[in-house]
Amino acid sequence: MIEAGATAPDFTLPDQDGKEVSLSDFRGQTVVLVFYPADFSPVCTDQLSVYQEVLPQFTERNAQLLGISVDGAFCHRAFKQHMNLDIPLLADFHPKGDAARKYGVWSEEHGVAGRALVVVDAEGVVTWAYQSPPLEVPGANLIFDALDQRTPA
């Protein structure tokens, strides 16, 4: 898995509406990359529901969340609508798992990204990364602690 201090690899992926989104589009702001295995799976549904519930707290910390899985844009659109999510969902669909591989979170065994979180600062440097066990929902407080540590006192 990518480590803190590394330059975050850029990527360009379609969002749930088919619009191309690049990590470099967010230069100048903090981004939290939320790699997850699949839309509509029980644990992923719980995870993104939790983050949606506390989305204003991410906004207060000037952090933009981006969900990334191997599902296609159409599946992301249906999942986003079904879950009433405001978090952009990016399709790491083709080449399958390319972004997940760049961040070292690809599971060849399962053909999906592992459940991982990566904080990228305004300059494009990874400041924190975490990979959770497969069926564990990494809580939002874990991310908030990482974001608060990078904030100057």
Handedness of CA 124, 130, 134, 139 (dihedral sign): negative
What dihedral do alpha carbons 118, 122, 126, 131 form, nearest 10°? Answer: -10
Give dist(CA 73, CA 85) in Å, integer: 14
φ/ψ (deg, to 5) at 15: -90, -170
Give dist(CA 153, CA 148) in Å, integer: 9
Q: Among residues 33, 44, 90, 105, which one is catalytic?
A: 44
The DSSP line for 58-92 is: HHHTTEEEEEEESS-HHHHHHHHHHHT--S-EEE-
75 classed as catalytic: no
- Alpha-carbon Rg for the chain, nearest whole angstrom, is 14
Active site residue ranges: 44
